[in-house]
Amino acid sequence: MSEQVVLQDPKQPLLEAEMPRPREVVRSLVSARVTRLSKTLDTSATKAMLAKLRANVGREPGTDESIWAYTMEGVSPEARDDGPTRAERAVHTALTLYAAHQQSRQQSAHISGVGFGQAVKRLEGKNGEGNQNSISPVRRRFNAVVTSASYDELTYHLRGLIRQMRGADIKLDYGLLAQDLFDFQCSGRADDVRRRWARQYHQLSKANENNQTQPDTDTVITEENS
């Protein structure tokens, strides 16, 4: 895309230790693209793109050329085979879920710094649930997400909670969600994601809402799956 950031003079390649980590670039890229869409929600072009993204919820990345500019461009320039990369899956899932969340909304469904676990806790509170003596319906759905054994199972349960968040006007940070989705696919990191969501759910506070905020900038992934 035209707004992509040039990381360094191409005549002076980045050392491996200086390269941005893919999980961080996935977060920045999704944050930037969601922010751009959010700023033009009333335009016909954005409405059309959001409809196309929604139509691809649950589909494999790269199968619909009409959304490549958002879900594929700049994501995995160093892909080693024809299958979808972890970064491509994370970006595709986050952006298509954002489009589903954004449907029929006048205000953006994206808000910087609010993790998925925090958003679930807010949803539970808005629904008047969360009695400590029983497990709420929202908590049951959250548990299903957290205990998912595969990426497909995870995204299936995510879709249900995102639909509920849309109905309850609950926002979340889609850049952070994309980063979590990337991590979930990495060997040994799925439990890190589960712990991150558990801490967000149990430690919701104003300070937590702001401590992960970062600038929304679009960039290019320069290394793959590390």
Find the CATH number of the domain harbouring 74: 1.10.520.40
Summarised one tens digit per residue, pLDDT across range 135-172 is: 889 999 999 999 999 999 999 999 999 999 999 999 99
Say if CB 222 and CB 14 are below 8 A apart: yes
What's the pLDDT at 27?
Answer: 96
pLDDT(104) > 80: yes
What's the pLDDT at 135?
Answer: 84
Residue 134 pLDDT level (bands cut at 50, 70, 90): confident
Task: With respect to residue 201, please indicate whether it lies within any of the assigned structural domains.
Answer: yes
Spatial distance between the Cα atoms of 137 and 178, rounded to a whole number of angstroms:
25
Say if CB 38 and CB 108 are below 8 A apart: yes
Spatial distance between the Cα atoms of 105 and 113, rounded to a whole number of angstroms:
20
What's the pLDDT at 224?
Answer: 43
Task: With respect to residue 220, please indicate whether it lies within any of the assigned structural domains.
Answer: no
Q: What is the mean pLDDT of the chain?
A: 85
* Mean pLDDT along residues 57-84: 93
Task: With respect to residue 221, please indicate whether it lies within any of the assigned structural domains.
Answer: no
172 strand-pairing partners:
110
Tell me which amino acid residue 165 is: M
Task: With respect to residue 154, please indicate whether it lies within any of the assigned structural domains.
Answer: yes
Spatial distance between the Cα atoms of 48 and 52, rounded to a whole number of angstroms:
6
* Mean pLDDT along residues 79-97: 94
Spatial distance between the Cα atoms of 179 and 181, rounded to a whole number of angstroms:
5
Domain that holds residue 80: 20-208
What's the pLDDT at 20?
Answer: 62
What's the pLDDT at 19?
Answer: 55
In the block, tokens 């895309």 appear at 1
Residue 17 pLDDT level (bands cut at 50, 70, 90): very low
How many domains does the structure of the chain reveal?
A: 1
